[in-house]
A and B are shown apart, each in its own frame.
Chain A
Amino acid sequence: MSPMSNLQASEGPARLLLVDDESQIVRALTPALAAAGYSVEIAATGEAALSQMAGDPCDVVILDLGLPDMDGKEVIRRIREWSEAPIIVLSARDLESEKIAALDLGADDFVNKPVGVGELLARVRASLRGRERRFTAQASFKAGDLEISFPNRRVLVQDEEVRLTPREYDLLRTLARHAGRVVTHKQVITAVWGAEAQVDAQFVRVLVAQLRQKLELEPSAPRIVLTEPGVGYRLKADDA
């Protein structure tokens, strides 16, 4: 991220780029995004989105995967070659593999169509916050009953300290860094076991179950570590 766009974000309203070729979706979403205080740019094709990002970068990209001129995943790949701007995938596709591929290519989050504007705006806020967090070394994280103090690796739930194994702590830290956004199984594996590890998604499920046992009031009905079926996990953020 260039200091330039950082500056933009802190000075004016955050700018969103909405990439969708279905005009009715654009028509339906734009007023709410504008009313929430964002300035909205529209692109109907992948090429238009790329040239917008190259000429006048936006702070968040909301991207439909089914574009007339190229696959949405290709747009993600090309934006990620040089830009760290958060990308939220807006998808009507039903394939988990598509979502995972988009996230692994560097998308920050995904939202399934149809979606209410309230949820979409929460995701936009989460992604903007995540971007800020990357550049400000925050020593602690707080969301609801959960509190993490990074320097001394302390985890508190309802002000009571919870003892975590190193792997459980690594998992929680990873989820907290992406709070409010989805983290894929692959991303968890990379963060906890390392990029080279030959680890099954089943290991992640077991580790998440252990973590829930320690954090959640009711581990079978989690309210902190949420499951994104077939894709990964999401740590509940304060406003999402």
Chain B
Amino acid sequence: MTLKIAPISSRTIWRYAATFVIVALSTGVAEIVYRFSHLLRLSSVFLAGVLVTAFWLGSGPAYFASVIAFLAFNFYILGGRTPLSFTSWESILTLAMFFIVAMLTGSLTGRVRDEAQKAMTRARATQALFDATRDFSASPDENFIHERLAYHLAAAARSGALVVTQQGTFASPDGLEPPPGLLSRALALAGEEGVGGVVTTLADGWSLRPLHADGVSLGVAAWRPHAGGQLAADEQTLLAILADAGAAAVARARLAAAKSNAEARARTEELRNALLSSISHDLRTPLAAIMASASSLQEFGETFDLATRRDLTATIQEESERMNAFVANLLNMTKLEAGALAVTRTRFGVQEVVDRTMRRQQLTHRRTVLEAAPFAELEASGDPVLFEQALGNVVENAIRYSPAGSTVRIACERADDEAVVRVTDEGPGVPSEDIGRIFDKFYRSPSVAATAGTGLGLSIARGFMEAMGGVVTAANRPKPERGLAVTLRLGLAPQ
């Protein structure tokens, strides 16, 4: 460790030089007064000089001023020829009194000035700390804290500063580049044990202070030497406190990040469990119906009447189709995620697709309340298979989440150069703050929590529509109607 202490800072030299100038000026004034009035009672002029020095430059220069003012005054009292030749008791007394008064005045005024100076430094330090801590708490981002710490350290050191991270990167607010070797030195220091709170000063004058919080090394704070020489003790303390506050802020940011990570993991876990339970439910329910129907037919087939047998075989067929649709959705989701979706772009009749979707959905859900408003013959450009699956998912969603016996309507119209298919239900709708999320994967509205579902259908519908260059949007129906309106838009086929 190279510790270099400059015995007298340039600032001190400047202060004493200023003292000398002030006393010289006092002497000049005294000389002018002497020339005009030949008065020898010039002590007040010199005392004024001492006073000014004490007030401006503090107690040290004030004592210095007292001494040189005494010597100068001496010169006047004794006629300037033989300094310090004590010829009369009166002159000696005057000189002695002057010296004592000058020292006292200087000392008192200097002390007042020193106290004021200290109070001001303290206030500045407090303000700097306050600003820094407020800055640190503004963002949980570690890099931001590093940068603000470097900024505040630079202000406190009245020069430039850097914060070197554990990874060997550095933050500096004003584009300051570290001198060669500083980073490696800082990293070595950060790895050392028991150096927390110790300031290391390098040969080029840079000071390094490791950042520690709870025994964990968080990087190194570095500041450049101040042009005016050595920093005052209170400035060093401020730098140390700033560095500690910065380290604490970084530690807090890391804890917050770890916490939010853990929360995100828990949410993902919850989501995964919900998804698994949902998938197992959606696959097993049709499977259970198929198995029950098939095993019933096998065990009791002869005893059932024709209607019962037909009903059971119909159940097997419907549930197989439902399962197939669900598996198709899962596969599509995977394809969408993997970007492996093949999209063909052809001209197709919208009405035909809507009719087919309605037939199929009525069959699987035994819901005969689907209604289609009459609409014009429209030809859209896109992939009819994907469009049918997207529409099927939207209709399925409408049926699933609206009360039994309520009506699901499909309307189709032409708007500019788009075919617009709108599916409306009479269900609970979606809370308005969530309406933007219903196409998100796994999103499920809190109002339908009791109904089984994976939250995949609408997200797949959106994926398909977007893959074809189409759009799907949702809105709650305007009051007094209730329910959700989902709109699919697809470009018309060119004429």
Contacts and interface: CB of A to CB of B under 8 A. Distances in A.
Interface of A: 22-25, 27-29, 31-32, 35-36, 66-69, 92-95, 113-118, 120
B295 A24 contact: no
A231 B298 CA distance: 30
B286 A117 contact: no
A169 B196 CA distance: 67
Interface in B451-471: 451-452
B34 interface: no
A239 to B, nearest CB: 14
Nearest to A68: B450
Nearest to B294: A116
Interface of B: 276-277, 280-281, 284-293, 295-296, 299-300, 303-304, 308, 311-312, 315, 318-319, 366, 450-452
A175 B276 CA distance: 33
20 contacts: A23-B366, A24-B318, A25-B288, A25-B289, A28-B290, A31-B296, A67-B450, A92-B281, A93-B281, A94-B277, A113-B285, A113-B287, A114-B290, A114-B291, A115-B291, A115-B292, A116-B291, A117-B292, A117-B296, A118-B295
Contacts of A118: 295, 299
Given A24-B319, A28-B312, A93 B280 contact: yes
Contacts of B280: 92-94
A35 B303 contact: yes
Nearest to A71: B450
Contacts of B452: 66
Contacts, number: 86
B296 A29 contact: yes
A220 B293 CA distance: 35
Nearest to B300: A35
A25 B292 CA distance: 8
Contacts of A25: 285, 288-289, 292
B285 A92 contact: yes
Given A35-B304, A116-B292, 17 more contacts: A22-B289, A24-B285, A24-B289, A24-B315, A28-B289, A28-B292, A28-B296, A28-B312, A29-B292, A68-B451, A92-B284, A94-B276, A95-B277, A113-B285, A114-B287, A117-B296, A118-B295
Contact of A31 (B291, B312, B450): B312
Given A68-B451, A69-B450, A93-B277, A32 B285 contact: no
B311 A27 contact: yes
Contacts of B451: 68
A111 B280 CA distance: 15
A66 B278 CA distance: 11
Contacts of A114: 284, 287-292
Contacts of B318: 24
A68 B290 CA distance: 22
B315 to A, nearest CB: 5
Contacts of A36: 300
A162 B284 CA distance: 43
Contacts of A116: 291-292, 295
B288 A113 contact: yes
Q: Top 4 nearest A-B pairs by Cβ distance?
A: A116-B295, A114-B291, A113-B288, A32-B296
A92 B312 CA distance: 20
Contacts of B293: 28
A67 B284 CA distance: 15
A28 B318 CA distance: 12
A88 to B, nearest CB: 14
Contacts of A68: 450-451
A32 B276 contact: no
A35 B305 CA distance: 11
Contacts of A117: 292, 295-296, 299-300
A113 B300 CA distance: 20
A230 to B, nearest CB: 15
A118 B286 CA distance: 18
A47 to B, nearest CB: 12
Contacts of A23: 366
Contact of A27 (B276, B315, B450): B315
B282 to A, nearest CB: 9
Nearest to B366: A23
B154 to A, nearest CB: 58
Given A29-B292, A93-B277, A113 B284 contact: yes
Contacts of A35: 296, 300, 303-304
Contacts of B319: 24
Most chain A C-beta atoms within 10 Å of own C-beta, residue among B276, B277, B292: B292
